[in-house]
């Protein structure tokens, strides 16, 4: 079984679901040191997480129309090397299977040469509209998890 940095996989867990987005660093994203301001990395990760969620039916809209919110419980980033103006970069988001009622996603930000520039993770809880934490998977989420475990989810 492949070893991951942030989330442990248990025997029998399906492989993480992965999706990448690609961007080019824009002028307004750099700081006085002429590198991407650290706060923008969270938005980069969110773009990839949203693309992944939308691709598998676990996007914000999919949850919201069922009265479910996805507050971020944890967010962590390790900055390894700077991105600069004009750099093209890739953000990979991987959703890890969990029996817990939460979304565990790790992120890897790579430059054009596939060097790791940053990596991190987020954990999102599922709550109702009154922000009460859910302790059971909603039916639509359970169906997706079962299809995932059965190997029936394929990403382009």
The pLDDT tens digits for 27-41 are 999 999 999 999 999
pLDDT tens readout for residues 41-98? 999 999 999 999 999 999 999 999 999 999 999 999 999 999 999 999 999 999 999 9
Domain boundaries, the chain: 17-149
Q: Whole-prediction pTM value?
A: 0.94
Alpha-carbon distance 106 to 120, whole Å?
6
Look at domain 17-149 and name its CATH class.
alpha beta
Tokens found for residue 148: 């995932």
In the sheet with 72-79, reading across from the earlier edge strand, the strands are: 17-24, 88-96, 102-111, 116-125, 72-79
User: For residue 124, what is the DSSP state?
Assistant: E
């Amino acid at each position: 079984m492949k070893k991951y940095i942030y989330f442990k996989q248990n025997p029998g867990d399906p492989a993480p679901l992965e999706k990448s987005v690609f961007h080019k660093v824009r002028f307004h994203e750099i700081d006085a040191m002429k590198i991407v301001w650290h706060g923008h990395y969270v938005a980069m990760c969110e773009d990839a997480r949203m693309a992944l969620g939308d691709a598998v039916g676990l996007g914000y809209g999919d949850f919201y129309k069922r009265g479910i919110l996805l507050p971020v419980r944890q967010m962590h980033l390790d900055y390894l090397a700077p991105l600069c103006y004009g750099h093209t970069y890739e953000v990979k988001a991987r959703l890890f299977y969990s029996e817990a009622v939460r979304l565990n996603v790790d992120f890897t930000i790579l430059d054009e040469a596939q060097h790791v520039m940053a990596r991190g993770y987020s954990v999102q809880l599922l709550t109702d509209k009154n922000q009460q934490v859910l302790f059971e998977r909603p039916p639509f989420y359970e169906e997706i998890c079962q299809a995932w475990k059965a190997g029936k989810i394929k990403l382009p």
